[in-house]
Amino acid sequence: MMSSRGKTKLDVASILETSSHTLKVARAKVNHEEINDAKLSRENDSTTLTVQSIPAILTRLESDVNELRTKGAEQLALLVEATPDGEPAQVLGEFLREAGAIDLLVQLLADDVPAIVRYTLITLGNLCSDFIDSQAQESKELLLEAGGLDAIVRCLGSTDFAVVLYACACLQNLCSAEKYSDAAVRAGAAKSLERVVRAMESAMQLKELDVGECAKQPPHVQ
């Protein structure tokens, strides 16, 4: 998962910090099955994926077949996730930038298949992490030029919990400097995050209310 490599700076205003905390709490409460399919499968052998695998992966991402696009998105997310921080991540990031992968990934954020959007957000989140790649700013610039920030903000309105979760994490990594934080606010991130926070808090309150009401019910005696 994109937060497993270390802490990332949070600068989109206090609302992003609030939403991040709320999502973490909600994530701890949500039923495992609801987000299980959004997690990268550790049964996959990531050692078979290398930089040389990228052309074939990008070809899958451009396919009209949902299954092929999904597989490509999963493989790329797994490859980026498994690549060691530092120089290996820099080499991979540079390769992906030169291959035009950022533009393609931004397009995939509008895909009709939720799993593809989840994997894409994971990949972009890692590519935009200064902790992982010291040259991540170059990926951020390409992402902004391709309209990626607006696409990520739109993901905050998804009905898929995991998509919203990874969109918040992606914004967190992207907004490591005031320039990107300001751009996120202009793109409507603050308002969208406020809606996310309100929705999550309301859902959590309803869940707690349901549990409380059930506890008040006398046992059924036949």
Q: What is the pLDDT of residues 9-40, one digit of tens each?
A: 333 444 444 444 444 444 444 443 443 444 44
Q: Which pLDDT score, from 0 to 100, does residue 137 have?
A: 93
Neighbours of 37 (CB within 10 A): 11
Q: What is the pLDDT of residues 110-167, one digit of tens each?
A: 999 999 999 999 999 999 999 899 999 999 999 999 999 999 999 999 999 899 989 9
In this prediction, residues 89-116 reach a mean pLDDT of: 95
Q: Which pLDDT score, from 0 to 100, does residue 63 have?
A: 96
Measured between alpha carbons, how far is 120 from 68 in angstroms, rounded to an integer? 14
Measured between alpha carbons, how far is 145 from 142 in angstroms, rounded to an integer? 5
Q: Give residue 106's pLDDT band: very low, low, confident or very high (50, 70, 90).
A: very high
Q: What is the pLDDT of residues 64-73, one digit of tens each?
A: 999 999 999 9
Percentages of the chain per state (helix, strand, coil), in multiples of 5: 70, 0, 30
Task: Give the tokens for residue 199.
Answer: 């929705």
Measured between alpha carbons, how far is 221 from 166 in angstroms, rounded to an integer? 46
Contacts of 56 (CB under 8 A, 6+ apart): none
Q: Which pLDDT score, from 0 to 100, does residue 52 have?
A: 86
Residue with tokens 């006398």: 218
Q: Which pLDDT score, from 0 to 100, does residue 218 have?
A: 52
Contacts of 127 (CB under 8 A, 6+ apart): 80, 93, 96, 102, 133, 136, 139
Task: Give the tokens for residue 216.
Answer: 């008040």
Radius of gyration for the chain, computed over Cα atoms and rounded to the nearest angstrom? 19
pTM of the model: 0.73
In 148-185, which positions are buried (b, 16+ CB within 10 angstroms) versus exposed (e)?
Answer: bbbbbbebbebebbbbbbbbbbbbbbbbbeeebbebbb
Of 32, 40, 41, nearest to 2 by C-alpha is 40
